[in-house]
Amino acid sequence: MIGALVAFAAFVALGVPIAFGIGAAAAIGLWLMDGVPLSIVASRTFGAIDSFTFLAIPFFILAGELMETGGISRRLIALATALVGHVRGGLANVTVVAMMLFSGVSGSTNADAAAVGSVMIPSMRQKGWDPARAGAVVAAAAGMGILVPPCLTMVVYGSVTNTSIAALFAAGLLPAVVMAGALLLHIRLEGAGPAPEQRVPLAGRLRHLRDAGLALGLPVIIFGGILGGAFTPTEAAVVAVAYAVLAGMLHRELTWPFFWGALVRSGIATGAVMLMIAGANILAWLLTVEQVPQALAALMTETGGGRIGFLLFSLVVFVVLFALLDGIPGMLMIIPVFVPIAKELGIDPLHYGLVMTTVMGIALFLPPLGVGLYIVLGISGSSLPAISRALAPYLLTMSVVAVVVALWPDLALLLPRLMGLHG
């Protein structure tokens, strides 16, 4: 096991793609074990991705690609401006609300940051916002948006741990509202910044709501269909693609070159995710054989940390590992070790998945490692030290919410229970 970890660290240091690094390190670990045939690599690789549920991944990615056109972004941001642009904080409030709306359309946090940031950051700079603070607001909002379903992280976690994806989607809603509320309160108390936008009359708000109706219809169809029993999460992903194509045609924004590009980008992203899942499955088998989860569970029991100690320990490990390994690869590495321990300590897997997702939103924008931070940095034109200083207070607010989500399970479990998705 130590050999596999050393090999993986070496691959990461050499710049080997994470998907190949995980699989190759696991294969090396098997090779170092006595009496273990390397044919296990092939069987575990195929078995890991031979799942109907995993079909949801490419379709949700494609649906997000098709809905992330300039027109959709502008309509959702215009709606958010009409709703909260006049409140103290102005365009910062718009960014948070727009990210909630847009995250319900897309499944990718980094894509959300790029799409909303490319519209909001130039607008904020024109209004007199400091580039670093404008980028920090977008980064914090995108980190919050990971909790708004549909979320690729939730699909992968649910598929790997056999947890209901519909329940995970429902579980993310309340924590998302709480974190968005915390960021809006933070922005209001912070106070500094250009004057807010002019209040939009009711007729104007209704007009913007109508213009954004097609985009807002996608999450409604996904949730309504899943909760109403009309289709499974995988089938919902297929419906989402069909709806996204229809919306693009009605808005006259879907062209063949764009559609082809969306297919290519979705295929590349799906291939990377599937390779990571396959490699992580080999590593999970190796960890199970070596009884690593049982050893760590015994250590936690001996030290007397209990459930709360383990949850707090998990928060620290997650934020570091997810920042180093760009979120999902880190999650795939940690699941086979930490989820069995969580179950043994009586922690609900659904709640634990929400804790992972919440921390991932922070880690993806954590200076100086978070990949999402560099996406926002490129759009804002700021420097890394400046945007890091501006982002630090927002990350602190988000971290407080993450601790609340970890220590208050009912915040995540209330809606799934009310909807009959979780016992």
In the structure encoding, which two tokens stand for residue 388, read together? 């890091």
Has residue 310 got a pLDDT over 80? yes
pLDDT digits (tens, 9 = 90+) for 253-283: 778 888 888 888 888 878 877 877 777 777 7
Compare 69 and 416 and report the one with higher pLDDT.
416
As a whole number, the mean pLDDT across the chain is 81
- What per-residue confidence (pLDDT) applies to 406? 95
Has residue 348 got a pLDDT over 90? yes
User: Domain coordinates of the chain in residue numbers?
Assistant: 1-37, 38-418
Residue appearing with tokens 């070159």: 257
The listed range with the strongest mean pLDDT (143-157, 175-189, 195-209) is 175-189
pLDDT digits (tens, 9 = 90+) for 328-343: 777 887 888 888 888 8
- What per-residue confidence (pLDDT) applies to 15? 75
- Residue 192's pLDDT band (cuts 50, 70, 90): low
Q: What percent of the chain has pLDDT over 90?
A: 19
Q: Name the pTM for this structure.
A: 0.81
